[in-house]
Structure 1
Amino acid sequence: MTTGSEEETVAVITIVSGRHLHLRRQLEAFEHSTVRPDVHIVVAMDDADIDGIVADSADAGHPTRVVHVIDEAPGTLPLADARNTGARAAIDAGATLLVFLDVDCIPGPDLVQRYLRSCAATPELRLLYCGPVTYLRPEHEVFDPRELHHFLDPHSARPAPGPCQTQLSSEMTLFWSLSFAVCSTDWLEIGGFHTGYRGYGGEDTDFAMCAARNGFRIAWVGGAHAYHQHHPVSDPPVEHLEDILRNARLFHRRWDRWPMEGWLNAFARQDLICYDEAVADWRRTTVERSNG
C-alpha cells in the first residue's frame, strides 16, 4: 500500500479458536475496506477447521494465509505465542505495518487506511496505534458490514478522537490488543508478547509496559473503528479465574504491581480469592459454592 511517497506493506493478524461465524464476518467486512491489507494472517489455535473457513471466504483482493499453533498446556489458549507467530509470518511476507485485530472485531471500512495515514504522519515517533472499538449489542447480530456506522458508539473507557485526529498518550495501561497497529521494526524492538502468559488476561498490558520501557506511547487514531461482535460474557470473568490469577502473578513478578485489579477485587468480593498479606499474594479461598 502507498502512503505519501513511501510504500507500506500491510498485514492484518487475527488469532482464533472457535468463533467461526465471527471470523467469517470479519473476512467479509474486509471486502468493503477502502484499503485492503496486502496479506491477512489468520493464526489458528488448536482449530483445524479454520483452513476450510478461510478457503470458503477466499477473496482475490484480500489474500489470507492460515498458520497453526498448538497449545502445549491443554485448557489454555496460547494468545501471546499466537500473536508472535502471526507477526513472524507477516514480517516474513514483507509486512512493514502490522495490524492486530481480534477475531471478535469487524473492521470499519477505513480502519486500515487510518492506521496507515497515522503511521505515515508520525515516522519519527515511537508509537503503538490504537483505534476506537464499539461493542455491538445482541440486537446488532444480523447486519450488513457497510451499515455498521449506524451502531457507532466507541467504548467510553478509551479515547475516541475525531475521524481525522490522532491523540497521543503516555497512559499505557489503556492499551488493548483488540485493535492496534505497530511498525514491524518497532515490533521487533519491543520483542513481541511475553510467552510466559497463558490463557486470558495480562499479556497485553505487559506488552504495553515493555513498549513504555522502550520509550513508546499510544496514538489513539480517530476513524480507525472496529466493531466488537456480541457474545455472552460474565463479569467478572470467573471462567478465566485460574488464568487471571496465574498471569497476574507473572505480571507482578515482572513489574512489581498487580494488573487487572478490578477483576481481582471483584473475585474477592465473591469470596473466590483473598489477598494474603503474609505472602503478599492472591490465593484461592476454600469457600465451596452450592449447586442449589
Structure 2
Amino acid sequence: MKTAVITIVRGRHAHLRMHVRGLAVDTTTPFSHFIVAMGDPMVKTVLAQEESAARTIEIDVPAGSALPLARARNIGAAEALRHGAELLVFLDVDCIAAPLLLTRYLEAASSEASTPALFCGPVTYLPHPVADSTSSDSLALLHNPHPARPVPPDGKIVDGNDFDLFWSLSFAVTAPTWCALGGFCEEYLGYGGEDTDFARAARDKGVKLAWVGGADAYHQFHPVSDPPVEHLDDILINARVFHRRWGEWPMQGWIDAFESAGLIAYQPDSARWERVRQASCKSRWPRMFHHRNEA
C-alpha cells in the first residue's frame, strides 16, 4: 500500500526539523512526504538544509489572517492522491514519529475489513523542549501517552466509540475512505473544531474509529494557554460553524472556561456565544500548557 505523509506548517521551523528527522528513522516503510506551507516560504529552506525529499506545496496566506488548516490538509491529500497514494497519514508538524508509527498504521490499514476506519495512534506530549540531538531511544524513555485516549499494546487495534476523542495531529486513512468522506470541511478557519467535525462526519457515514497500538508520536513542547484565549475569536467562529452543521456546541470545556472568565456570554437573540469584552485576559490564566485538552 503506497503510503504518503501529509504535514501542514507555518513557522515552527525547529519542530519541522525534528519532525522530518523522526520520519527518516523508519527505514522499513517506504513513504512520500507532502508538506503544505501556509504562507511560509522558509519551509523550503529548512527542508533543503535537512536534505529532505519532501515535496513542498505553498499556499498563500496573508499575514494576520486565520490559518486555513482544513483546506491545507485537503490540498496535501489531493497532491498525495495525485501521486498514487493509497494510505494517507496526517502528522502534525509538532509531532515526532516513533520508529514504528508508519509501519503500524500500514499494518492496521492493510487489515481493514469491510468497515472503513480512521486509524489513530497514541501521542505523548513532551513536558519540555527536546535537543536537536535527541534520539528515538531517548524519546522512548519519555513515553507517556495522553491519558484520555486508548493506548492499546503494540501491534493491537482497539475500536473506539467516542468520536470526540479523534485528533488530527496523528491519524491515517485509506484513500477510498478519505474520498468517501470528502476531506475536512473548509468552512473552518484558524484554531479549533475542524477535526471534531471530520470525526462527526466519519461517524455519520459508518466509518469506525480505531486506536492503533505502537503508532506512537511525540508532540514537541510549545507553550499554549489553557483555555487558549489567544484563539478565542477563531474558536467562537468555528463553534458557530459546527453548531450550524451538527446542532450542538463543540469544545464545550473551552466555552465553559471562557464563560466563567467573563469573556463570552450566550446571546439568546442571536442564539450563539459572543465575546463580551476586549480586555486582555492573559493575567487570568497564568498556567501554561503545551497541548489541547478540549476533550
Q: Scaled by the length of structure 1, what TM-score is found?
A: 0.92
**Secondary structure at the counterpart of residue 109 of structure 1:** coil
Which of 33, 42, 51 is equivalent to 1:49? 42
- List per-residue Cα deviations over 1:141-185 (Å, max 9, x = no partner): 562233211000000011111102110022111100010000011
Describe the SS at the equivalent of 2:7. strand
Aligned to 2:200, which of 200, 209, 213? 209
Closer, same or farther in 2 for the Cα pair 1:238/1:290, shift >3 Å?
A: closer
Q: CA deviation at 1:57?
A: 1.4
For structure 2, the 5+ residue unaligned runs are: 284-295
The residue aligned with 1:91 is: 81
Describe the SS at the equivalent of 1:215. Answer: coil
Q: Give the letter for the 2:215 counterpart.
A: A
Q: Is the 8 A contact 1:131 1:222 kept in 2?
A: yes
User: In 2 relative to 1, CA 36–58 (structure 1 residues): closer, same or farther, beyond 3 Å?
Assistant: farther
| 1:147 partner letter | S
Q: In the TM superposition, what are the counterparts of 1:1-292 in structure 2 within 5 Å?
A: 8-59=1-52, 63-71=53-61, 74-138=64-128, 140-141=130-131, 143-286=134-277, 288-289=279-280
Mapped partners of 2:129, 2:237: distance in 1: 35
Residues 202-256 of structure 1: CA distance to partner in whole angstroms, max 9, x if unpaired?
Answer: 0001111111111011110000000000001100000000000000000000000
Partner of 1:4: none
Which segment drifts farther, 82-91 or 27-36? 27-36
Q: CA deviation at 1:74?
A: 4.1
Question: Which amino acid in the other structure matches residue 227 of structure 1?
Answer: Y
Evaluate the alpha carbon distance shift between residue 215 and residue 232 of structure 1 in structure 2; reply closer, same or farther with a 3 A threshold: same
RMSD: 1.8
Q: Would you say the 8 A contact 2:97–2:217 is kept in 1?
A: yes
Aligned sequence identity (%):
48
AA matched with 1:58: E
Q: Which runs of 5+ in 1 are unaligned?
A: 1-7
- Note closer, same or farther for the CA distance 1:76–1:109 as it changes in structure 2 (3 Å cut): same
Instruction: Summarize the Cα distance change of 1:291–1:168 in structure 2 as closer, same or farther, 3 Å threshold.
Output: closer
2:214 aligned counterpart, secondary structure? coil
The 3 A distance-change label for structure 1 pair 291 and 82 is closer
> Whole-Å Cα distance in 1 between the matches of residues 63 and 166 of structure 2?
27
Hey, what's the Cα distance between the residues in 1 that align with 2:89 and 2:193? 20
Looking at structure 2, the residues matched to 120 and 289 of structure 1 have their Cα atoms a distance apart, in angstroms, of 50
Separation of aligned partners in 2, 1:157 and 1:9 = 31
Distance 2:194 2:105 in 1: 22
Amino acid of the structure 2 residue aligned with 1:209 = R
Deviation at 1:31, TM superposition (A): 1.9
Q: CA deviation at 1:278?
A: 3.7
CA distance in 2 between counterparts of 1:221 and 1:34 reads: 20
Greater mean alpha carbon deviation, residues 79-88 or residues 134-143:
134-143
